[in-house]
Amino acid sequence: MIRWPDMAIIVVYMAALIAIGARFSRRQTSTERYFVAKRSVPAWAMGLSLLATLISSVTFIAYPGSAYAGDWSNLVPGLMTAPVLMLVAVVIIPFYRRAVGMSAYEYFGKRFGYPARVYSSIAFALGHFSKMGFVFYLLALTVTSMTGWSTERVIVGVGVVTVCYTLIGGIEAVIWADVLQGFALWAGIAICIGYLLFALPGGPSAILHLAWSSGKISLGSMAPDLSKPTVLVLALYGFFYYLQRYVADQTIVQRYLVARSDRDALRGIVLGSALCIPVWSLFMLIGTLCWAFYHSVGEKLPAHIVKADQVFPYFITQHVPAGLAGLFMSALFGAAMANLSSDLNALSAIGVEDYYRHFRPDSTERQRLRVAKRVVAACGALCVVIASVLAKTNGAALSLWYTVSAIVAGGLCGLFLLAFLAERASAAAAYIGIGASLAFTTWATLTLDGGTVWNLGRYNFPFHNYMIGVIGHVLVWGVGYAASFAIPNRDPLTREMTLWGWRRLQRSAWREERRD
């Protein structure tokens, strides 16, 4: 059962989140303020918000669980943030800040027409609803094991508080709540690692030697095998997953748009991304240290601890002093709620900008703002329902989350690369690429794992589940580009909305500056 000092800290933390929402509620007088804060957020706050957007209860619970049960192989996808950031940061951030208003999918509409905008926004929504469900699932699993509270109460309670401060405070409340979460996150990490490193005889060196000699810090198999979760498969998955997030994910693109300037946006993105890899690594270390602790002291886990994801939360309740455990639990709640609030505001933005404004172009700002808040409430309620179903899953949380996100990726990364890199790509060519990706994804999903749903024998999907999203992205780009030779783009305006058009514009602006 939860101790009263821990409960007091959690209550204060939740009250602080509501207070942040109330603090910014009076400013929410337009959708520009509600979705992009009128581009007024400082770089450091935007960077911490990005960190909170990329960190969730997946990191808090599934990463330690993965390291406890195996090794550090599931860290590999996160390591791909570094090369992705180097590829996209300097060009993509300023491009988006000029190409779109508030929705990332406005770009797809300008480049390939409104159907592409609809497809990309729906693909984003499906992917993030699956992610939101897993965030709730892991949070409910963890809190229930730590406190004895019912799963349903945890889901509903967290959902109500998250919807409340997101609905009334808009993106500003989301970002400044993320800042609070960032400080709680580092405090929680420091407490847990500090305790674990010195909990055993011999201290840190003995523990780390035991983990290293037992292969617990390995990144996995280096074999060139696409049918298993090798380093190659995980790296490919991570590269395309984070490339999609940086170029075609509304929650990330919104962070580009809220900054005061291009330079601030770049600084914030670099800060947030640079903090992610240490955080992921430290949570893997926590899982490894938990394994070393229980392996060395001989303490047996109780019968109700049946999953690796439950070990670290159990350790917190049993070995971390009251008050400090509450601080960590607050960080856990905050991680899940920061992730959910970002998604809710992003889903509201695409609901208003990609749909409501399109079908009601004569609507007033007041009407659009009212619809935005209704979308937040509706999406929050739907997420609670989804989470209530997913909470009963028996899969390994991290692997299951990776698989689902790969399947529902929608080829958005490939669609962006086609739009941004191929001047000759027309709308028709893009739709052919999307069709090829959807056909492949349907076949692969139904026939994966040896054809558990639809067994086609030797025609089953032969690779690991994570490869579905990777191949889907490549198909959108490859098939779309090949189709563009038969159906080329002849519109000079859309040809300018590419990397090459952007470079011509930049060179022209540079020449103008030199003449002046």
Tell me: pLDDT of 516 over 70: no
**Separation between Cα atoms, residue 78 and residue 237, nearest integer Å:** 10
With 90 as the cut, is the pLDDT of residue 213 above it?
no
pLDDT in tens, 136-191: 777 877 787 778 788 888 888 899 999 999 999 999 999 999 998 888 888 888 88
Give 400's pLDDT tier (boundaries 50, 70, 90). Answer: low
Tens-place pLDDT, residues 58-88: 788 889 999 999 999 999 999 999 999 988 8
CA-closest candidate to residue 448, choices 422, 468, 425, 475: 468
Annotate 418-472 with three-state secondary structure.
Answer: HHHHCCCECHHHHHHHHHHHHHHHHHHHHHHHHHCCCCCHHHCCCCCCCHHHHHH
Please state, rounded to an integer, the average pLDDT across all residues of the chain. 88
CA distance 332 to 425: 45
Residue 441 has pLDDT above 70, yes or no: yes
Rounded distance, CA 136 to CA 156, Å? 10
Q: What is the pLDDT of residue 140?
A: 79
Domains in the chain, CATH or no CATH each:
4-408 (1.20.1730.10)
Instruction: Name the burial class of residue 490, with classes exposed (0-12), middle (13-18) and buried (19+) by CB atoms within 10 angstroms of its CB.
Output: exposed
Q: Report pLDDT for 403.
A: 54
Q: What is the pLDDT of residue 396?
A: 46
- Rounded alpha-carbon distances, angstroms, from residue 497 to 100, 111, 332, 500, 501: 11, 7, 41, 8, 6
pLDDT digit string (tens) for 264-315? 999 999 999 999 999 999 999 999 999 988 888 878 888 878 888 888 888 8
Please state the rounded mean pLDDT for residues 476-491: 96
- Per residue in 17-27, pLDDT (tens digit) is 999 999 999 99
Q: What is the DSSP letter of 309?
A: G
Q: Is the pLDDT of residue 334 over 50?
A: yes
Please give the pLDDT value at position 404: 55
3-state helix, strand, coil in the chain (%, to 5): 80, 0, 20
CA proximity to 351, closest of 31, 25, 27: 31
Q: What is the arithmetic mean of pLDDT over 350-368?
A: 95
* Section 314-322 average pLDDT: 82
pLDDT band (50, 70, 90) for residue 395: very low
**Which pLDDT tens digit goes with each residue over 365-378?**
999 999 999 999 99
Residue 425: which of 502, 472, 479, 469 has the closest Cα? 479
What percentage of residues in the chain have a pLDDT greater than 70? 95
pTM of the model: 0.90
Q: What is the pLDDT of residue 318?
A: 83
Is residue 1 very low, low, confident or very high in pLDDT (cuts 50, 70, 90)?
Answer: low
State how far the Cα of 67 lies from the Cα of 283, in Å rounded to an integer.
Answer: 9
4 pLDDT more than 90: no
**What whole-number distance in Å separates Cα of residue 170 and Cα of residue 173?**
6
Count, residues in the chain: 516
Please state, in angstroms and rounded to a whole number, the distance separating the CA atoms of residues 47 and 359. Answer: 35
Q: Is the pLDDT of residue 362 over 70?
A: yes
CA-closest candidate to residue 469, choices 495, 432, 444: 444
89 versus 23: the higher-pLDDT residue is 23
Of the spans 200-209, 426-435, 465-474, which averages the highest pLDDT? 426-435
pLDDT of residue 328: 80
Q: Which residues pair with 41 in a beta bridge?
A: 259
Interacting residues of 53 by C-beta distance below 8 A, sequence separation 6+: 178, 251, 252, 255, 272, 338, 339, 342
For 149, the token pair is 């509270």
Give the rounded percent of residues in the chain with a pLDDT score beyond 90. 55
The pLDDT of residue 195: 82
To 5 degrees, how large is the angle CA 381–CA 384–CA 390? 145
Supply the pLDDT for residue 239.
95
